[in-house]
A and B are shown apart, each in its own frame.
Chain A
Amino acid sequence: MTNTQSYPDTHHDVSSNTILGFWIYLMTDCVMFATFFAAYAVLHNNTFGGPSAKELFDLRFALGESLVLLASSFSCGVAMLYAPRQQTGKVLGWFAITFILGALFFWMGLYDFSRLIAGGNTWQSNGFLSSYFTLIGVHGLHILVGLMMMIVFIVQLIQRGLTGRVLRRLTCLRIYWHFLYLIWIFTFAIVYLIGAR
């Protein structure tokens, strides 16, 4: 009576739907970051008599942050190399490294913020610092969300193993994590490198 082959049910193709949807979401996120970058570009000289980017930023520390996040992004990529081969143990191990490095990056960001605030340079000081704290802060919030998702998906991975749904979620997380590194490259170039000139 039926010929299921020639009438595929649309709901079976969820995996590619989710990943395309996630890509589109990331593009919207990219536009949002672009807006914050634009605001920073407009306001970065408006120090209102306060110290400039050159006086405030520590390029070496920012480079250190970049390397930590790069390593985290790399280990996330390695973890996902093992995922299609169903090597759950290795996936777990590499995601643990990703998580630790990501958390370290987050902590470094907080440390950098507290250093600035302790020096009396807060987001209330001037337009330049408002846009700086917001740009870095929004990136940091994304990292925090990524870390939380990582915990949830690792729990699911332990509970369920590498099922289709878990694999799909880990794939999204991986794209997200690489995306955040990409945004950080722009941050490093536009905020720290240009600022340190």
Chain B
Amino acid sequence: MIAFIEYSDIFGKLDLNAFKHDAIEASVGISIILISIALVFFLTYKKLWVWLWRDWLTSLDHKKIGVMYLIVSAAMLFKGFVDAAMMRAQQAFSVGDSFGYLGAPHFQQIFTAHGTTMIFFVAMGMVFGLINILLPLQIGARDVAFPFLNNLSFWFFAVGAALLIVSLMIGNYAGTGWVSYPPLSGIKYSPGVGVDYWLWGIQIAGVGTLLSGVNFLVTIFKMRCPGMTLMKMPLFVWSVLNSLVLIVFAFPILTATLAMLSLDRMMGMHFFTSDFGGYPMMYVNLIWAWGHPEVYILVLPAFGIFSEVVATFSGKKLFGYTSMVWAMVAITFLSFIVWLHHFFTMGAGPKVNAFFGIMTMIIAVPTGVKVFNWLFTMFKGRVQFKTPMLWFLGFVIIFTIGGMDGVLMAIAPVDFQVHNSLFLVAHFHSMVIGGVLFGILAGFTYWFPKIFGFKLNEKYGGYAAFCWIFGFLFAFIPLYILGLMGATRRLNHYEAATGWQPLFIVAAIGVCIIAVGVFFQIVQLIVSIKEKDQNMDTTGDPWNGRTLEWSTTSPAPFYNFATIPEVSERDPFWTMKHHKQEAKYVEIHMPKNSPHGVFIGALSFTFSFGLIWNMWWLAIVSLIGMIVCLMIRLFDRDTEYAISPQEVEKFELANKHLN
């Protein structure tokens, strides 16, 4: 029998050529393998495997899942940043007779991987990391609504990231840009496995995001502590709620769209082909019907973080809470009717373009309301310029610049001039770095003591923030100018006569300054861990905070709150501090660890890998495996354990003693 099975039955499209890469690609692949081997040796040498498996990988504790999200995202941020630096280096030197050091096919893969990495595996991952850690704490809950689903979502996210990394070593990645428009991304023009890696990586991670969206929506709606009405929720929770509504409405569109593109590629269908009655522009509409809300999915939580940070470090309650909430709701609604501004040049006609242009401009109004509210919160407050506030200042400047030129580009005739130019690239980096990433970094510094129990070093944090802010301006202001001079995005070569090179060199210098900022962040982490004992947060409330997460000890115990708090107003902890209550302990039910999230995640990896390389048997076996794991989980009745009041008291006393 065996003799009749052909090579392609077992390995599909996978052969030795998949492992052949040019020198630069190979060195990246080899270094990843070496790092992995070193990690395995370290874990084995320190005998940490059991600890890793029991305390982290299989944990259903939302705080630990959040930390795992942050770790994966930080690794991916490093990768995405290296991509960015490679592109800047290429563009600084690839002029006239010099063609730089990257070949065109490799350059294409880098800009595709950079965009995909940064949006899906850095921004989304970090946002979900912070949501995981903070959301239950802020609403006074012990856990999320569906702890197992939460763990599964994380593994889907991690598998998506892993597929992207694996493409560096086996085969190659898509060269079609981060939204992979067909017909270029169709099987006819991209016959390799690159687009399939892109498709399945995002599809799996997207399903994880969707499950998280459902999970956290139920958590917010059903698990707030007694007394916390919707209008008493902290603004971070409000921002997350809006972001989750967007996820629930937008991500199914992505799932369906990617499914259609996959069917085109795998089954020879004709959704988006340029012949047989396919319609490529439908893809562009669908992907942006998801893609535009996605921008707000990322930036709304950042708005929420800044609302918390500004109120805390100004020592005042937030200015205009109600208007902040309504501004976010307005943004949520409007973000669904602006997607066409990504392709005004498609030729939809003046009336359609005008409608979407006006809607886009209107979105600036609620966003402006928010910026003014933050500034008014600072007004007459006792502002402490701690690191999170420095990120906020950088955010206000860069985000406002980016927002203003966003409104400029909402004018369709102007957009015709700058469409697909570096002006656009500078615009969305202002929003995503200045808005989302700075927000995440501010939130990370602000909540770090709550997660790990000690504060981060202020000095190096400040250096890092300044390097990032000035580095950003150096790296992207030249791109605005270059865009107006006519430089299009995704260029791997240009002529000397364009006179662009000096500006590209300035932009490359900007990246170097940001790299120094990253270096300071690493130093900050190392120094903070070394000086941990001096920076211990013994009170649980290091910043004189206002919301519930600061009312429990730092780091938060695995059950979050020994007694579920009862609140009667906004900023509940601010009032609570002056009215200490006697602790009453009750039995607490917590979810048990489960390995099935890891198993299903791993099987979803082999499933995708099988589909990407047409190893059908592997895909089918993995699919059956996933179903079996799910069944085992469904038949498992023993998923919770109880902690008696006496044990809770013991834990609480131990925490106090520690402090």
Query: Which stretch of B84-92, B381-389, B484-492, B586-594 is in the interface?
Result: B586-594
Say whether A2 contacts B270, CB under 8 Å: no
Query: Which stretch of A26-34, A75-83, A103-111 is in the interface?
Result: A26-34
User: How far, in angstroms, from A32 to B634 measured CA to CA in the complex?
Assistant: 25
The interface residues of chain B lying within 8 Å CB-to-CB of A126 are 270, 276-277
Say whether B146 contacts A17, CB under 8 Å: yes
Query: Which stretch of B215-223, B353-361, B444-452, B464-472 is in the interface?
Result: B215-223
Say whether B223 contacts A128, CB under 8 Å: no
Query: Which stretch of A5-13, A112-120, A177-185 is in the interface?
Result: A5-13
The interface residues of chain A lying within 8 Å CB-to-CB of B368 are none
Query: Which stretch of A41-49, A84-92, A187-195 is in the interface?
Result: A41-49
Closest to B584 in A: A2
Q: Distance in Å from the Cβ of A160 to the closest Cβ of chain B?
A: 8
Q: Knowing A27-B248, A46-B277 touch, does A7 contact B589 (C-beta < 8 A)?
A: no
- B497 in contact (CB, < 8 A): no
Say whether A10 contacts B142, CB under 8 Å: yes
The interface residues of chain A lying within 8 Å CB-to-CB of B276 are 48, 124-127
Q: Knowing A1-B585, A1-B645, A13-B222 touch, does A47 contact B277 (C-beta < 8 A)?
A: yes
Say whether A48 contacts B277, CB under 8 Å: yes
The interface residues of chain A lying within 8 Å CB-to-CB of B563 are 7
* CB under 8 Å from chain A, chain B span 271-295: 271, 273, 275-279, 282, 286
Q: Distance in Å from the Cβ of B363 to the closest Cβ of chain A?
A: 21
- A20 in contact (CB, < 8 A): yes
* CB under 8 Å from chain B, chain A span 114-156: 123-128, 130-131, 133-134, 138, 148, 152, 156
Question: Hey, what's the 0/1 contact readout for B630-659 against A, CB within 8 Å counting as 1?
Answer: 010011010010000100000000000000
Say whether A130 contacts B269, CB under 8 Å: yes
- B494 in contact (CB, < 8 A): no
Question: Hey, what's the 0/1 contact readout for B209-247 against A, CB within 8 Å counting as 1?
Answer: 010011101100111001000000000000000000000
Say whether B145 contacts A32, CB under 8 Å: no
User: How far, in angstroms, from A100 to B113 measured CA to CA in the complex?
Assistant: 48
The interface residues of chain B lying within 8 Å CB-to-CB of A165 are 637
Q: Distance in Å from the Cβ of B284 to the closest Cβ of chain A?
A: 12
* CB under 8 Å from chain B, chain A span 62-103: none
- B255 in contact (CB, < 8 A): yes
Number of contact residues on A: which range applies?
Answer: 35 or more
User: How far, in angstroms, from A127 to B270 measured CA to CA in the complex?
Assistant: 5
The interface on chain B, measured as residues whose beta carbon lies within 8 A of the other chain's beta carbons, has a size of 56
Say whether B256 contacts A35, CB under 8 Å: yes
The interface residues of chain A lying within 8 Å CB-to-CB of B509 are none
- B141 in contact (CB, < 8 A): yes
The interface residues of chain B lying within 8 Å CB-to-CB of A134 are 259-260, 263, 269, 271
- B251 in contact (CB, < 8 A): yes
The interface residues of chain A lying within 8 Å CB-to-CB of B516 are none
The interface residues of chain A lying within 8 Å CB-to-CB of B32 are none
Q: Distance in Å from the Cβ of A187 to the closest Cβ of chain B?
A: 15
The interface residues of chain B lying within 8 Å CB-to-CB of A16 are 222
Question: Hey, what's the 0/1 contact readout for B330-367 against A, CB within 8 Å counting as 1?
Answer: 00000000000000000000000000000000000000
The interface residues of chain A lying within 8 Å CB-to-CB of B145 are 17, 21
Q: Distance in Å from the Cβ of A61 to the closest Cβ of chain B?
A: 23
In the complex, which of the residues B142, B146, B218, B279 contacts A46, with contact meaning CB atoms closer than 8 Å?
A: B279
Say whether B278 contacts A127, CB under 8 Å: yes
Say whether B218 contacts A21, CB under 8 Å: yes
User: How far, in angstroms, from A177 to B450 measured CA to CA in the complex?
Assistant: 44
User: How far, in angstroms, from A42 to B278 measured CA to CA in the complex?
Assistant: 10
Say whether A43 contacts B271, CB under 8 Å: yes
- B268 in contact (CB, < 8 A): yes
- B414 in contact (CB, < 8 A): no
- A56 in contact (CB, < 8 A): no
Closest to B282 in A: A42
Q: Knowing A28-B248, A32-B255 touch, does A131 contact B271 (C-beta < 8 A)?
A: yes
- A158 in contact (CB, < 8 A): no
The interface residues of chain B lying within 8 Å CB-to-CB of A156 are 634-635
Q: Knowing A24-B248, A127-B279 touch, does A11 contact B589 (C-beta < 8 A)?
A: yes
Say whether A152 contacts B634, CB under 8 Å: yes
Closest to B244 in A: A24
Q: Distance in Å from the Cβ of B472 to the closest Cβ of chain A?
A: 36
Say whether B278 contacts A46, CB under 8 Å: yes
Closest to A24 in B: B214
Closest to A37 in B: B256
User: How far, in angstroms, from A47 to B277 measured CA to CA in the complex?
Assistant: 6
Q: Distance in Å from the Cβ of A29 to the closest Cβ of chain B?
A: 7
Say whether A10 contacts B271, CB under 8 Å: no
Say whether A32 contacts B277, CB under 8 Å: no
The interface residues of chain A lying within 8 Å CB-to-CB of B141 are 10
- B537 in contact (CB, < 8 A): no
Q: Knowing A21-B214, A31-B249, A124-B270 touch, does A2 contact B260 (C-beta < 8 A)?
A: no
The interface residues of chain B lying within 8 Å CB-to-CB of A123 are 263, 267-269
Closest to A28 in B: B252
Q: Distance in Å from the Cβ of A118 to the closest Cβ of chain B?
A: 18
Say whether B586 contacts A7, CB under 8 Å: yes
Closest to B646 in A: A1
Say whether B252 contacts A7, CB under 8 Å: no
Q: Distance in Å from the Cβ of A116 to the closest Cβ of chain B?
A: 14
Say whether B260 contacts A10, CB under 8 Å: no
* CB under 8 Å from chain A, chain B span 283-337: 286
The interface residues of chain A lying within 8 Å CB-to-CB of B226 are 6-7
Say whether B248 contacts A36, CB under 8 Å: no
Say whether A11 contacts B142, CB under 8 Å: yes
Say whether B278 contacts A28, CB under 8 Å: no
User: How far, in angstroms, from A31 to B142 measured CA to CA in the complex?
Assistant: 31
Residue from the set A10, A20, A152, A169 with the largest chain B CB neighbour count within 10 Å: A10
- A25 in contact (CB, < 8 A): yes
Say whether A130 contacts B252, CB under 8 Å: no
Closest to A149 in B: B634
The interface residues of chain A lying within 8 Å CB-to-CB of B248 are 24, 27-28, 31
User: How far, in angstroms, from A39 to B263 measured CA to CA in the complex?
Assistant: 13
Question: Hey, what's the 0/1 contact readout for B92-106 against A, CB within 8 Å counting as 1?
Answer: 000000000000000
In the complex, which of the residues B214, B271, B588 contacts A25, with contact meaning CB atoms closer than 8 Å?
A: B214
Closest to B634 in A: A152
- B515 in contact (CB, < 8 A): no
User: How far, in angstroms, from A127 to B146 measured CA to CA in the complex?
Assistant: 40
The interface residues of chain B lying within 8 Å CB-to-CB of A42 are 279, 282
* CB under 8 Å from chain A, chain B span 580-602: 584-590
- B143 in contact (CB, < 8 A): yes
User: How far, in angstroms, from A40 to B210 measured CA to CA in the complex?
Assistant: 24
Q: Knowing A29-B252, A36-B256 touch, does A130 contact B286 (C-beta < 8 A)?
A: no
Q: List 20 A-B contacts (CB under 8 A).
A: A3-B584, A7-B584, A9-B588, A10-B143, A11-B590, A12-B589, A17-B146, A21-B145, A24-B214, A31-B249, A31-B252, A31-B253, A35-B257, A36-B256, A123-B267, A126-B270, A126-B276, A127-B270, A130-B270, A148-B627
**Residues in A lying within 8 Å of B, measured CB to CB:** 1-4, 6-13, 16-18, 20-21, 24-25, 27-32, 35-36, 38-39, 42-43, 46-48, 123-128, 130-131, 133-134, 138, 148, 152, 156, 165, 169
The 3 closest A-B CB pairs, nearest first, are A46-B277, A127-B277, A35-B256
**Residues in B lying within 8 Å of A, measured CB to CB:** 141-143, 145-146, 210, 213-215, 217-218, 221-223, 226, 248-249, 251-253, 255-257, 259-260, 263-264, 267-271, 273, 275-279, 282, 286, 563-564, 584-590, 627, 631, 634-635, 637, 640, 645
Given contacts A11-B590, A36-B256, A126-B276, 8 further A-B contacts (CB under 8 A): A9-B587, A10-B564, A11-B143, A21-B214, A31-B248, A46-B278, A127-B277, A127-B279
